[in-house]
Amino acid sequence: MKRRHFIKDSSLAMAGSLAIRPSRKRISALEKIQIGVIGCNGMGWANTKSALAMSDVDLVAICDVDQNVINKRLEECKSLRSNTPKTYLDYRELLQDDSIDAVIIGTPDHWHCLPMVDAVKAGKHVYVEKPIANTIEECQLMKAAAKQYGTVVQVGQWQRSGPHYAKAIDIVRSGVLGNIRLVKVWAYQGWMKPVKVLPDTTAPEGVDYSRWLGPAPKRPYNRNRFHFSFRWFWDYAGGLMTDWGVHEIDIALYAMNAIAPISVMASGGKLAYPNDASETPDTLQTVFQYDNFNMLWEHATGIDNGNYGRTEGIAFIGNAGTLVCNRQGYEIIPEKDGVEAEVFEKPKELNYLNLHTQNFVEAIKANDISLLNTPIESGSVAAINAQMGNIAYKTGRKVFWDKSTESFINDQEANELMKARYFNGYKLPTV
Protein backbone atom coordinates (compact mmCIF):
# COMPACT_ATOMS: atom_id res chain seq x y z
CA MET A 1 0.00 0.00 0.00
CA LYS A 2 2.87 2.39 0.75
CA ARG A 3 4.31 1.78 -2.72
CA ARG A 4 0.98 2.41 -4.42
CA HIS A 5 0.43 5.54 -2.35
CA PHE A 6 3.83 6.82 -3.42
CA ILE A 7 3.17 6.12 -7.10
CA LYS A 8 -0.23 7.80 -6.96
CA ASP A 9 1.14 10.92 -5.25
CA SER A 10 4.04 11.25 -7.66
CA SER A 11 2.23 10.25 -10.87
CA LEU A 12 2.54 13.69 -12.44
CA ALA A 13 6.29 13.65 -12.12
CA MET A 14 6.67 10.00 -13.04
CA ALA A 15 4.08 9.55 -15.80
CA GLY A 16 5.49 6.87 -18.05
CA SER A 17 8.81 6.74 -16.19
CA LEU A 18 8.64 3.47 -14.24
CA ALA A 19 11.35 1.11 -15.39
CA ILE A 20 9.74 -1.75 -17.33
CA ARG A 21 12.01 -4.68 -17.98
CA PRO A 22 11.63 -6.68 -21.19
CA SER A 23 10.52 -10.18 -20.23
CA ARG A 24 9.40 -11.81 -23.45
CA LYS A 25 9.78 -15.53 -23.70
CA ARG A 26 8.72 -18.19 -26.14
CA ILE A 27 5.60 -20.08 -25.09
CA SER A 28 5.26 -23.67 -26.19
CA ALA A 29 2.01 -25.23 -27.37
CA LEU A 30 1.77 -27.15 -24.08
CA GLU A 31 2.26 -24.17 -21.77
CA LYS A 32 -0.48 -22.07 -20.23
CA ILE A 33 -0.57 -18.40 -21.16
CA GLN A 34 -0.65 -16.07 -18.15
CA ILE A 35 -2.61 -12.92 -18.92
CA GLY A 36 -3.32 -9.62 -17.22
CA VAL A 37 -6.14 -7.21 -18.02
CA ILE A 38 -5.77 -3.43 -17.95
CA GLY A 39 -9.21 -1.83 -17.76
CA CYS A 40 -11.80 -4.49 -16.98
CA ASN A 41 -15.19 -2.80 -16.83
CA GLY A 42 -16.66 -3.29 -20.32
CA MET A 43 -15.07 -4.92 -23.34
CA GLY A 44 -11.91 -5.45 -21.33
CA TRP A 45 -13.79 -7.97 -19.22
CA ALA A 46 -15.70 -9.42 -22.18
CA ASN A 47 -12.36 -10.07 -23.88
CA THR A 48 -10.95 -11.57 -20.69
CA LYS A 49 -13.86 -13.96 -20.21
CA SER A 50 -13.56 -14.94 -23.86
CA ALA A 51 -9.87 -15.75 -23.36
CA LEU A 52 -10.67 -17.73 -20.21
CA ALA A 53 -13.00 -19.94 -22.24
CA MET A 54 -9.72 -21.60 -23.26
CA SER A 55 -8.31 -24.00 -20.67
CA ASP A 56 -4.73 -23.05 -21.53
CA VAL A 57 -5.19 -19.41 -20.47
CA ASP A 58 -5.10 -18.17 -16.88
CA LEU A 59 -5.83 -14.70 -15.53
CA VAL A 60 -3.14 -13.70 -13.04
CA ALA A 61 -3.52 -9.92 -12.81
CA ILE A 62 -6.26 -7.29 -12.90
CA CYS A 63 -5.71 -3.55 -13.18
CA ASP A 64 -8.36 -0.85 -13.00
CA VAL A 65 -8.69 2.64 -11.57
CA ASP A 66 -12.02 1.71 -9.99
CA GLN A 67 -11.64 -0.51 -6.94
CA ASN A 68 -15.36 -1.30 -7.13
CA VAL A 69 -14.84 -2.87 -10.55
CA ILE A 70 -11.81 -4.81 -9.31
CA ASN A 71 -13.85 -6.21 -6.42
CA LYS A 72 -16.62 -7.26 -8.79
CA ARG A 73 -14.22 -9.02 -11.13
CA LEU A 74 -12.45 -10.83 -8.30
CA GLU A 75 -15.80 -12.24 -7.23
CA GLU A 76 -16.56 -13.37 -10.78
CA CYS A 77 -13.11 -14.97 -11.06
CA LYS A 78 -14.09 -17.48 -8.38
CA SER A 79 -16.37 -19.22 -10.86
CA LEU A 80 -13.83 -19.06 -13.68
CA ARG A 81 -10.56 -20.22 -12.11
CA SER A 82 -9.22 -21.47 -8.79
CA ASN A 83 -6.47 -18.82 -8.47
CA THR A 84 -6.95 -15.28 -7.21
CA PRO A 85 -5.44 -12.69 -9.57
CA LYS A 86 -3.16 -9.99 -8.25
CA THR A 87 -4.70 -6.50 -8.39
CA TYR A 88 -3.22 -3.17 -9.42
CA LEU A 89 -4.31 0.44 -9.74
CA ASP A 90 -1.24 1.34 -11.83
CA TYR A 91 -0.77 -0.63 -15.05
CA ARG A 92 3.00 -0.05 -14.96
CA GLU A 93 3.28 -2.18 -11.86
CA LEU A 94 1.38 -4.96 -13.60
CA LEU A 95 3.80 -4.82 -16.54
CA GLN A 96 6.73 -5.39 -14.18
CA ASP A 97 5.39 -8.86 -13.36
CA ASP A 98 7.59 -11.26 -15.32
CA SER A 99 5.06 -14.07 -14.99
CA ILE A 100 2.62 -12.26 -17.31
CA ASP A 101 2.88 -13.27 -20.96
CA ALA A 102 0.15 -11.11 -22.47
CA VAL A 103 -2.17 -8.26 -21.58
CA ILE A 104 -5.66 -7.27 -22.65
CA ILE A 105 -6.14 -3.50 -22.84
CA GLY A 106 -9.79 -2.56 -22.35
CA THR A 107 -9.39 1.02 -21.15
CA PRO A 108 -11.17 4.04 -22.70
CA ASP A 109 -9.70 5.07 -26.05
CA HIS A 110 -7.53 7.88 -24.67
CA TRP A 111 -5.79 5.29 -22.45
CA HIS A 112 -4.86 2.80 -25.21
CA CYS A 113 -1.56 4.17 -26.46
CA LEU A 114 0.48 4.48 -23.26
CA PRO A 115 -0.13 0.97 -21.86
CA MET A 116 0.13 -0.65 -25.29
CA VAL A 117 3.55 0.88 -26.01
CA ASP A 118 4.78 0.15 -22.50
CA ALA A 119 3.49 -3.43 -22.77
CA VAL A 120 5.38 -4.27 -25.95
CA LYS A 121 8.49 -2.62 -24.51
CA ALA A 122 8.09 -4.98 -21.56
CA GLY A 123 7.96 -7.94 -23.93
CA LYS A 124 4.24 -8.62 -23.45
CA HIS A 125 1.89 -9.72 -26.17
CA VAL A 126 -1.12 -7.40 -26.46
CA TYR A 127 -4.80 -7.61 -27.29
CA VAL A 128 -5.90 -3.98 -27.60
CA GLU A 129 -9.51 -2.89 -27.89
CA LYS A 130 -10.71 -0.92 -30.86
CA PRO A 131 -10.22 1.79 -31.92
CA ILE A 132 -6.54 1.36 -31.27
CA ALA A 133 -6.20 5.02 -30.24
CA ASN A 134 -7.90 8.40 -30.06
CA THR A 135 -5.62 10.22 -32.52
CA ILE A 136 -3.85 9.42 -35.77
CA GLU A 137 -0.49 10.25 -34.18
CA GLU A 138 -1.05 7.64 -31.46
CA CYS A 139 -2.10 5.05 -34.06
CA GLN A 140 1.13 5.57 -35.98
CA LEU A 141 3.20 5.40 -32.81
CA MET A 142 1.55 2.15 -31.72
CA LYS A 143 2.21 0.57 -35.11
CA ALA A 144 5.86 1.57 -34.90
CA ALA A 145 6.15 0.15 -31.36
CA ALA A 146 4.63 -3.19 -32.37
CA LYS A 147 7.01 -3.43 -35.31
CA GLN A 148 10.09 -2.55 -33.29
CA TYR A 149 9.50 -4.86 -30.33
CA GLY A 150 8.04 -7.75 -32.31
CA THR A 151 5.43 -9.05 -29.88
CA VAL A 152 2.04 -10.32 -31.01
CA VAL A 153 -0.51 -7.47 -31.12
CA GLN A 154 -4.11 -8.22 -31.99
CA VAL A 155 -6.71 -5.45 -32.42
CA GLY A 156 -10.18 -6.13 -31.03
CA GLN A 157 -11.95 -5.81 -34.40
CA TRP A 158 -13.30 -9.31 -33.98
CA GLN A 159 -15.53 -9.33 -37.06
CA ARG A 160 -12.36 -10.29 -38.97
CA SER A 161 -12.49 -13.69 -37.25
CA GLY A 162 -16.07 -14.33 -38.35
CA PRO A 163 -16.36 -17.01 -41.08
CA HIS A 164 -19.26 -15.31 -42.85
CA TYR A 165 -17.33 -12.04 -43.00
CA ALA A 166 -14.40 -13.92 -44.50
CA LYS A 167 -16.69 -15.49 -47.09
CA ALA A 168 -18.23 -12.10 -47.92
CA ILE A 169 -14.74 -10.60 -48.35
CA ASP A 170 -13.82 -13.44 -50.72
CA ILE A 171 -16.94 -12.74 -52.78
CA VAL A 172 -16.13 -9.02 -53.00
CA ARG A 173 -12.55 -9.72 -54.05
CA SER A 174 -13.60 -12.38 -56.59
CA GLY A 175 -15.06 -9.79 -58.96
CA VAL A 176 -18.46 -11.47 -59.33
CA LEU A 177 -20.22 -8.30 -58.15
CA GLY A 178 -18.65 -6.43 -61.06
CA ASN A 179 -16.99 -3.08 -60.68
CA ILE A 180 -17.71 -1.82 -57.16
CA ARG A 181 -18.25 1.92 -57.26
CA LEU A 182 -19.64 2.54 -53.78
CA VAL A 183 -19.38 0.94 -50.34
CA LYS A 184 -21.90 1.96 -47.71
CA VAL A 185 -21.16 1.49 -44.01
CA TRP A 186 -23.60 2.47 -41.31
CA ALA A 187 -24.81 2.16 -37.73
CA TYR A 188 -28.34 3.15 -36.71
CA GLN A 189 -28.52 2.67 -32.97
CA GLY A 190 -32.05 2.91 -31.63
CA TRP A 191 -31.01 1.97 -28.10
CA MET A 192 -29.01 5.20 -27.81
CA LYS A 193 -31.35 7.68 -26.18
CA PRO A 194 -30.48 11.26 -25.20
CA VAL A 195 -27.71 11.52 -22.63
CA LYS A 196 -29.27 13.36 -19.69
CA VAL A 197 -27.49 16.48 -18.50
CA LEU A 198 -26.06 15.75 -15.05
CA PRO A 199 -24.24 18.00 -12.57
CA ASP A 200 -20.57 17.60 -11.76
CA THR A 201 -19.97 15.74 -8.49
CA THR A 202 -17.14 14.16 -6.60
CA ALA A 203 -15.91 10.80 -7.88
CA PRO A 204 -17.40 7.70 -6.19
CA GLU A 205 -15.43 6.15 -3.36
CA GLY A 206 -12.85 3.72 -4.69
CA VAL A 207 -12.36 5.59 -7.99
CA ASP A 208 -8.97 7.12 -8.74
CA TYR A 209 -10.41 9.78 -11.02
CA SER A 210 -7.10 11.58 -11.61
CA ARG A 211 -5.62 8.34 -12.91
CA TRP A 212 -8.74 7.72 -15.04
CA LEU A 213 -8.27 11.13 -16.70
CA GLY A 214 -4.60 10.33 -17.25
CA PRO A 215 -3.40 12.30 -20.29
CA ALA A 216 -6.83 13.84 -20.96
CA PRO A 217 -7.58 17.45 -19.93
CA LYS A 218 -8.38 17.95 -16.27
CA ARG A 219 -12.13 18.24 -15.74
CA PRO A 220 -14.49 17.80 -12.77
CA TYR A 221 -15.95 14.34 -12.34
CA ASN A 222 -19.24 13.82 -14.18
CA ARG A 223 -20.96 10.46 -14.40
CA ASN A 224 -21.72 11.03 -18.09
CA ARG A 225 -18.01 11.01 -18.88
CA PHE A 226 -17.19 7.90 -16.88
CA HIS A 227 -17.29 4.21 -17.79
CA PHE A 228 -19.43 3.35 -20.85
CA SER A 229 -20.56 6.84 -21.89
CA PHE A 230 -17.02 8.22 -22.23
CA ARG A 231 -17.53 7.40 -25.93
CA TRP A 232 -19.59 10.52 -26.52
CA PHE A 233 -16.93 13.03 -25.40
CA TRP A 234 -14.04 14.20 -27.57
CA ASP A 235 -11.49 14.15 -24.73
CA TYR A 236 -11.64 10.36 -24.58
CA ALA A 237 -13.12 9.02 -27.85
CA GLY A 238 -14.67 9.81 -31.22
CA GLY A 239 -18.36 8.97 -30.92
CA LEU A 240 -20.10 6.39 -33.09
CA MET A 241 -17.62 6.97 -35.91
CA THR A 242 -14.81 5.37 -33.92
CA ASP A 243 -17.03 3.05 -31.85
CA TRP A 244 -19.27 1.17 -34.28
CA GLY A 245 -17.68 2.76 -37.33
CA VAL A 246 -14.30 1.13 -36.83
CA HIS A 247 -15.85 -2.36 -37.02
CA GLU A 248 -17.71 -1.66 -40.25
CA ILE A 249 -15.03 0.47 -41.91
CA ASP A 250 -12.52 -2.27 -41.11
CA ILE A 251 -14.39 -4.90 -43.12
CA ALA A 252 -15.14 -2.43 -45.94
CA LEU A 253 -11.55 -1.30 -46.49
CA TYR A 254 -10.02 -4.72 -45.89
CA ALA A 255 -12.30 -6.24 -48.54
CA MET A 256 -11.48 -3.45 -50.98
CA ASN A 257 -7.72 -3.59 -50.28
CA ALA A 258 -7.81 0.13 -49.50
CA ILE A 259 -5.54 1.91 -47.01
CA ALA A 260 -5.98 5.68 -47.23
CA PRO A 261 -8.47 8.01 -48.92
CA ILE A 262 -7.81 10.77 -51.39
CA SER A 263 -10.30 13.08 -49.69
CA VAL A 264 -12.90 13.12 -46.92
CA MET A 265 -15.89 15.34 -46.25
CA ALA A 266 -18.48 15.11 -43.50
CA SER A 267 -21.74 16.72 -42.52
CA GLY A 268 -23.94 16.25 -39.49
CA GLY A 269 -24.17 17.26 -35.87
CA LYS A 270 -26.40 17.02 -32.84
CA LEU A 271 -29.52 17.07 -34.97
CA ALA A 272 -31.69 14.59 -33.08
CA TYR A 273 -30.88 15.60 -29.50
CA PRO A 274 -29.32 19.08 -29.65
CA ASN A 275 -29.61 19.70 -25.92
CA ASP A 276 -28.37 16.43 -24.45
CA ALA A 277 -25.05 16.10 -22.63
CA SER A 278 -23.02 14.38 -25.36
CA GLU A 279 -20.48 16.22 -27.53
CA THR A 280 -20.09 13.90 -30.53
CA PRO A 281 -22.63 14.06 -33.38
CA ASP A 282 -25.78 11.95 -33.13
CA THR A 283 -26.23 12.20 -36.91
CA LEU A 284 -23.37 12.05 -39.41
CA GLN A 285 -22.74 11.38 -43.09
CA THR A 286 -19.13 11.09 -44.26
CA VAL A 287 -17.88 10.55 -47.82
CA PHE A 288 -14.44 9.00 -48.30
CA GLN A 289 -12.96 9.07 -51.81
CA TYR A 290 -10.51 6.29 -52.71
CA ASP A 291 -8.75 5.53 -55.99
CA ASN A 292 -11.57 3.49 -57.58
CA PHE A 293 -14.58 3.84 -55.30
CA ASN A 294 -16.29 5.98 -52.70
CA MET A 295 -17.23 4.92 -49.17
CA LEU A 296 -20.19 6.48 -47.39
CA TRP A 297 -20.36 6.23 -43.60
CA GLU A 298 -23.50 7.27 -41.79
CA HIS A 299 -24.77 6.93 -38.28
CA ALA A 300 -27.85 7.91 -36.33
CA THR A 301 -28.76 7.52 -32.68
CA GLY A 302 -32.24 6.82 -31.37
CA ILE A 303 -33.53 5.10 -34.55
CA ASP A 304 -33.05 1.65 -36.05
CA ASN A 305 -34.23 1.90 -39.67
CA GLY A 306 -30.89 1.79 -41.44
CA ASN A 307 -29.97 0.85 -44.99
CA TYR A 308 -31.48 -2.32 -46.44
CA GLY A 309 -33.64 -2.68 -43.31
CA ARG A 310 -30.58 -3.34 -41.14
CA THR A 311 -29.46 -1.38 -38.09
CA GLU A 312 -25.79 -1.83 -39.03
CA GLY A 313 -23.83 -3.20 -41.92
CA ILE A 314 -21.65 -2.90 -44.98
CA ALA A 315 -22.96 -2.83 -48.56
CA PHE A 316 -20.66 -3.38 -51.55
CA ILE A 317 -22.49 -1.94 -54.55
CA GLY A 318 -21.26 -3.36 -57.85
CA ASN A 319 -22.38 -3.34 -61.47
CA ALA A 320 -23.59 -6.95 -61.26
CA GLY A 321 -25.05 -6.90 -57.75
CA THR A 322 -24.82 -5.67 -54.19
CA LEU A 323 -23.54 -7.66 -51.23
CA VAL A 324 -24.96 -6.56 -47.88
CA CYS A 325 -23.21 -7.92 -44.80
CA ASN A 326 -23.82 -7.47 -41.09
CA ARG A 327 -23.51 -9.49 -37.88
CA GLN A 328 -26.46 -11.69 -38.78
CA GLY A 329 -25.04 -12.85 -42.12
CA TYR A 330 -24.91 -11.59 -45.69
CA GLU A 331 -27.15 -11.28 -48.72
CA ILE A 332 -26.35 -10.85 -52.41
CA ILE A 333 -28.92 -8.71 -54.23
CA PRO A 334 -28.48 -9.15 -58.00
CA GLU A 335 -28.79 -6.56 -60.70
CA LYS A 336 -30.71 -7.57 -63.84
CA ASP A 337 -28.70 -10.26 -65.66
CA GLY A 338 -26.11 -9.99 -62.91
CA VAL A 339 -24.78 -12.23 -60.14
CA GLU A 340 -27.05 -14.86 -58.58
CA ALA A 341 -28.97 -14.06 -55.41
CA GLU A 342 -27.70 -15.63 -52.19
CA VAL A 343 -28.57 -15.45 -48.50
CA PHE A 344 -26.33 -16.71 -45.70
CA GLU A 345 -27.21 -16.60 -42.02
CA LYS A 346 -24.58 -16.69 -39.30
CA PRO A 347 -24.74 -19.92 -37.26
CA LYS A 348 -26.07 -18.91 -33.84
CA GLU A 349 -23.73 -21.23 -31.99
CA LEU A 350 -20.58 -19.47 -33.27
CA ASN A 351 -19.12 -16.81 -30.99
CA TYR A 352 -16.89 -14.63 -33.14
CA LEU A 353 -15.24 -12.91 -30.17
CA ASN A 354 -14.15 -16.33 -28.93
CA LEU A 355 -12.72 -17.11 -32.35
CA HIS A 356 -10.79 -13.82 -32.22
CA THR A 357 -9.22 -14.42 -28.82
CA GLN A 358 -8.42 -18.00 -29.85
CA ASN A 359 -6.64 -16.61 -32.90
CA PHE A 360 -4.62 -14.33 -30.59
CA VAL A 361 -3.56 -17.25 -28.40
CA GLU A 362 -2.69 -19.41 -31.42
CA ALA A 363 -0.42 -16.67 -32.79
CA ILE A 364 1.32 -16.32 -29.42
CA LYS A 365 1.98 -20.05 -29.15
CA ALA A 366 3.23 -20.24 -32.72
CA ASN A 367 5.27 -17.05 -32.20
CA ASP A 368 3.91 -16.01 -35.59
CA ILE A 369 2.36 -12.58 -36.12
CA SER A 370 1.29 -13.57 -39.63
CA LEU A 371 -1.38 -15.84 -38.14
CA LEU A 372 -3.29 -12.90 -36.66
CA ASN A 373 -6.65 -12.05 -38.18
CA THR A 374 -6.34 -8.37 -37.17
CA PRO A 375 -2.68 -7.45 -36.66
CA ILE A 376 -2.12 -3.86 -35.64
CA GLU A 377 -0.67 -2.80 -39.01
CA SER A 378 -3.90 -3.83 -40.75
CA GLY A 379 -6.24 -3.16 -37.85
CA SER A 380 -5.05 0.43 -37.55
CA VAL A 381 -6.38 1.32 -40.99
CA ALA A 382 -9.99 1.57 -39.85
CA ALA A 383 -9.11 3.68 -36.80
CA ILE A 384 -7.03 6.09 -38.87
CA ASN A 385 -9.72 6.47 -41.53
CA ALA A 386 -12.39 6.98 -38.88
CA GLN A 387 -10.25 9.69 -37.29
CA MET A 388 -9.99 11.33 -40.71
CA GLY A 389 -13.77 11.36 -40.88
CA ASN A 390 -14.00 13.08 -37.51
CA ILE A 391 -11.34 15.61 -38.55
CA ALA A 392 -13.34 16.46 -41.68
CA TYR A 393 -16.41 16.92 -39.47
CA LYS A 394 -14.56 19.17 -37.02
CA THR A 395 -13.05 21.37 -39.74
CA GLY A 396 -16.34 21.60 -41.62
CA ARG A 397 -14.69 21.20 -45.01
CA LYS A 398 -13.36 18.66 -47.46
CA VAL A 399 -9.86 17.55 -46.50
CA PHE A 400 -7.29 15.96 -48.80
CA TRP A 401 -4.75 13.31 -47.79
CA ASP A 402 -1.19 12.83 -49.02
CA LYS A 403 -0.33 9.18 -48.48
CA SER A 404 3.36 9.76 -49.15
CA THR A 405 3.72 12.20 -46.23
CA GLU A 406 0.82 10.77 -44.19
CA SER A 407 -0.60 14.24 -43.66
CA PHE A 408 -3.35 16.50 -44.94
CA ILE A 409 -2.50 18.68 -47.92
CA ASN A 410 -2.16 22.41 -47.20
CA ASP A 411 -4.37 22.18 -44.12
CA GLN A 412 -2.70 23.18 -40.87
CA GLU A 413 -5.87 22.83 -38.81
CA ALA A 414 -6.51 19.26 -39.98
CA ASN A 415 -2.88 18.31 -39.36
CA GLU A 416 -3.04 19.73 -35.84
CA LEU A 417 -6.11 17.57 -35.17
CA MET A 418 -4.03 14.49 -36.01
CA LYS A 419 -1.79 15.12 -33.01
CA ALA A 420 -2.06 13.77 -29.48
CA ARG A 421 -2.08 16.34 -26.71
CA TYR A 422 -1.22 14.96 -23.29
CA PHE A 423 -1.97 16.78 -20.06
CA ASN A 424 -1.44 16.39 -16.31
CA GLY A 425 2.27 15.63 -16.65
CA TYR A 426 1.78 12.66 -18.98
CA LYS A 427 4.00 12.42 -22.05
CA LEU A 428 3.42 10.76 -25.38
CA PRO A 429 5.51 7.56 -25.30
CA THR A 430 8.56 7.20 -27.50
CA VAL A 431 9.67 4.21 -29.53
The pLDDT profile of the chain, 431 residues, written as one tens digit per residue, is 333 433 344 344 345 545 555 555 567 666 899 999 999 999 999 999 999 999 999 999 999 999 999 999 999 999 999 999 999 999 999 999 999 999 999 999 999 999 999 999 999 999 999 999 999 999 999 999 999 999 999 999 999 999 999 999 999 999 999 999 999 999 999 999 999 999 999 999 999 999 999 999 999 999 999 999 999 999 999 999 999 999 999 999 999 999 999 999 999 999 999 999 999 999 999 999 999 999 999 999 999 999 999 999 999 999 999 999 999 999 999 999 899 999 999 999 999 999 999 999 999 999 999 999 999 999 999 999 999 999 999 999 999 999 999 999 999 999 999 999 999 999 999 99
pTM: 0.94
- Measured from the Cβ of residue 46, the count of other Cβ atoms closer than 10 Å reads 18
pLDDT at 168: 98
Q: Measured in whole angstroms, how far is the alpha carbon of residue 197 from the centre of its chain?
A: 27
Which pLDDT score is estimated for 27?
A: 75
The whole-number pLDDT of residue 283 equals 98
How far CA 56 is from CA of 35, 131, 265, 371, in Å, comes to 11, 27, 47, 18
C-alpha 377/C-alpha 367 separation (Å) is: 17
Number of H helices, E strands in the chain: 13, 16
Parallel, antiparallel, or unpaired for β 407-408 and 312-318?
unpaired
pLDDT given at position 139:
98
Q: What pLDDT shows up at residue 19?
A: 57
Peptide bond into 215 cis (omega under 30): no
Instruction: Delineate the domains of the chain, giving CATH numbers in brackets.
Output: 2-159+369-373 (3.40.50.720), 160-350+379-417 (3.30.360.10)
As a whole number of angstroms, the distance between CA 66 and CA 345 comes to 40
- Report the alpha-carbon distance of residue 279 to residue 236 in Å, rounded: 11
For position 31, what pLDDT does the model report? 84
- Which residue type does 66 have? D
For residue 252, the surrounding DSSP H or E stretch is helix 239-255
Model pLDDT, residue 94: 98
